[in-house]
Chain A
Amino acid sequence: DAGVTQSPTHLIKTRGQQVTLRCSPKSGHDTVSWYQQALGQGPQFIFQYYEEEERQRGNFPDRFSGHQFPNYSSELNVNALLLGDSALYLCASSPKGVSYNEQFFGPGTRLTVL
């Protein structure tokens, strides 16, 4: 059983560009969350998708947007990249009907903005 997968592994962009990151959840999971982890920090919640809708959003600007597809996979889009967007972007999926809110993380996409 494959776990959460993310692509690409690494990405280098320049300021002002746009980027799309992709995530496939673990089999049987229907909810996908995205986190940003700056170097030396804990992950920060960006947003969460459930049933193709954004269900909750953290304190991130509208430059960060997302999408969830019918097969539960998800994309994170960041427009007008800033140097401060350089980070490890983590995707996490949650199983259906679990009460204690366990999340399973992918290996992340390392984004470098020059």
Chain B
Amino acid sequence: GDSVTQMEGPVTLSEEAFLTINCTYTATGYPSLFWYVQYPGEGLQLLLKATKADDKGSNKGFEATYRKETTSFHLEKGSVQVSDSAVYFCALTLSGSARQLTFGSGTQLTVLP
């Protein structure tokens, strides 16, 4: 079945450090890919998305590129802030499906001042 694998966490960085959170996927069709962020005590917020191969999603300084050849969608940010501390989830949904999202297990990011 479809699945998403995220790098194991937690990740702890100093402010202004470079961030990479790895995400790979397995899907039977051509998925759309998403990164969601969850702040403490809150629901999920969509951070960025990409709907086809080679698309780059970006938002709030975060970027991820849909790589079909490596089935990856790694999240990057050049300079993290304390306010970026949260749990990040990679997810996919298949085109033409009933919009069911399949999530990875999440990566806890802590940014220290």
Contact = CB atoms under 8 A, between A and B. Distances in A.
Contacts of B51: 99-100
A42 B46 CA distance: 14
A55 B96 CA distance: 13
Given A41-B106, A45-B102, A101 B97 contact: yes
Size band of the interface chain B makes with A = 20 to 34
B100 interface: yes
A105 B45 contact: yes
A90 B43 contact: yes
B49 A100 contact: yes
Contacts of A24: none
B99 A33 contact: yes
A33 B99 CA distance: 9
B103 A42 contact: yes
Interface string A29-62: 0010101000011111100101000011010000
B43 A31 contact: no
Nearest to A49: B98
Contacts of B24: none
Contacts of A105: 36, 43-45
Given A42-B89, A100-B51, A101-B93, A48 B100 contact: yes
Interface of B: 4, 32, 34, 36, 42-46, 49, 51, 89, 91, 93, 95, 97-106
